[in-house]
């Protein structure tokens, strides 16, 4: 759901650091020219989404699925932007759907291909620019609301909670609501505010800096380890007095994975705020230390909020492809361009 990579559960911080530096250290250190040249592309131009249409395409047979995958290569002259790879239905792997952005000059031709192949589709948006403008407006509203609140803690009714009328959400300084995507500054404000509010169970850490020098920040949450009576390693049911398991989760490895960021911040907020009232939250924080890195790729995340790079030329690197992990499978692509950053 989060499109984030849960890298595993470890017994010591040392093992966590091994994972961190094998999977994320590549972001921090400069690359050799030979390695870099195999992953970089030329700069991308400014994109205007006026009258770009968003198609949702449905495949029903293995042949449909194979054809759609071929089109990703064969129809490149149409400048189609496949937003995701095939996401198979759990019970029928050939029933799946694609989201494809189609520029206005290619709409007629692409529609013709779909009709000729008898592939079902619907148009989710006739003008993608309007959606982009709406998103910018909601984000700007959220930012302004956060600034107006200053440093005070605000309790507000969550939107759309008719089913759970008693559910309430804590809104932290600089953050209007986790229903909106957050700029990098607001993400950092959220982390700092969490630590200020829960100094015993929360602390920040930094695993290094990005290629452009931005800190790669994380938040650790969990109760301080407590030795519950006499325990020994010989007793398999006992709890070792100096060992506590840990969970590491990172988000926004690909800069445009915006949904992973509020999802992780919501996880942090829920575990901490419900510790005193929810046995499950208490168990999770008493049993594990959680190391959460909401934005593992701050350069790509910040770039994805901009229309065009501030630099006269920009080069793009897909970090995930450099990792020797089980990733880039379902729901992930291997293109090296601005769409994956």
Residue 198 pLDDT > 80, yes or no?
Answer: yes
| Residue appearing with tokens 């589709």 | 121
Q: Looking at residue 341, what is its pLDDT?
A: 47
Average pLDDT over residues 260-282: 92
Selected residue with higher pLDDT from 235 and 153: 235
Burial label, 327 (beta-carbon count in 10 A; 0-12, 13-18, 19+): middle
Closest CA to 39 of 328, 325, 315: 315
Give residue for tokens 């709409």: 107
Mean of pLDDT values over 304-310: 57
Q: Which pLDDT band holds residue 88 (cuts at 50, 70, 90)?
A: low
pLDDT in tens, 17-63: 333 333 333 333 333 344 433 433 444 456 788 999 999 998 888 88
Sorting pLDDT into bands at 50, 70 and 90, what band is 126?
A: very high
pLDDT surpassing 70 at residue 186: yes
Superfamily of 53-126 according to CATH:
Metallocarboxypeptidase-like (3.30.70.340)
Q: How far is Cα 24 from Cα 122, in angstroms, rounded to an integer?
A: 39
- Is residue 106 pLDDT above 80, yes or no? yes
**pLDDT in the model for residue 177:** 55
Burial label, 151 (beta-carbon count in 10 A; 0-12, 13-18, 19+): exposed
pLDDT higher for 219 or 180? 219
| Stronger pLDDT, 20 or 74, i.e. the higher one | 74
Q: Which of 37-41, 128-132, 164-168, 310-314 has the highest mean pLDDT?
A: 128-132
Task: Grade residue 136 by pLDDT with cuts at 50, 70 and 90.
Answer: confident
d(CA 279, CA 134): 40
Domain positions in the chain are: 5-40+141-340, 53-126
* Residue 323, pLDDT score: 54
- Lowest mean pLDDT segment, chosen from 180-184, 244-248, 250-254, 285-289: 180-184
Least confident residue range of 105-109, 166-170, 186-190, 278-282: 166-170
Q: Which residue has the higher pLDDT, 169 or 82?
A: 82
């Amino acid at each position: 759901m989060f499109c984030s990579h849960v890298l595993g559960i470890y017994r010591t911080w040392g093992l966590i650091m091994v994972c961190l530096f094998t999977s994320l250290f590549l972001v921090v250190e400069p690359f050799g020219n030979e390695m870099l040249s195999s992953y970089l592309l030329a700069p991308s131009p400014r994109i205007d989404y006026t009258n770009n249409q968003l198609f949702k395409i449905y495949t029903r047979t293995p042949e449909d699925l194979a054809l759609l995958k071929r089109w990703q290569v064969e129809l490149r002259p149409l400048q189609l932007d496949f937003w995701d790879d095939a996401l198979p239905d759990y019970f029928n792997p050939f029933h799946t759907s694609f989201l494809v952005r189609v520029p206005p000059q290619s709409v007629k031709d692409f529609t013709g291909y779909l009709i000729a192949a008898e592939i079902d589709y619907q148009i989710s948006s006739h003008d993608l620019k309007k959606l982009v403008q709406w998103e910018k407006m909601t984000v700007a509203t959220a930012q302004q609301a956060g600034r107006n609140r200053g440093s005070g803690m605000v309790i507000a009714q969550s939107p759309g909670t008719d089913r759970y009328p008693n559910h309430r959400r804590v809104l932290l300084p600089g953050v209007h609501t986790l229903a909106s995507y957050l700029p990098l500054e607001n993400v950092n404000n959220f982390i700092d505010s969490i630590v200020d509010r829960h100094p015993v169970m929360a602390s920040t850490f930094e695993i290094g800096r990005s290629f452009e020098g931005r800190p790669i920040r994380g938040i650790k949450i969990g109760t301080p380890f407590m030795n519950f009576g006499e325990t020994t390693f010989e007793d398999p049911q006992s709890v070792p007095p100096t060992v506590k398991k840990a969970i590491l989760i990172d988000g926004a490895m690909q800069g445009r994975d915006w949904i992973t960021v509020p999802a992780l911040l919501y996880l942090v907020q829920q575990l901490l705020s419900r510790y005193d009232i929810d046995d499950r939250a208490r168990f999770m924080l008493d049993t594990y230390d959680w190391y959460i890195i909401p934005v593992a790729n701050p350069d790509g995340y910040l770039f994805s909020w901009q229309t065009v790079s501030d630099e006269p030329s920009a080069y793009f690197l897909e970090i995930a492809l450099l990792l020797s992990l089980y990733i880039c499978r379902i729901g992930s692509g291997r293109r090296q361009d601005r769409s994956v950053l």
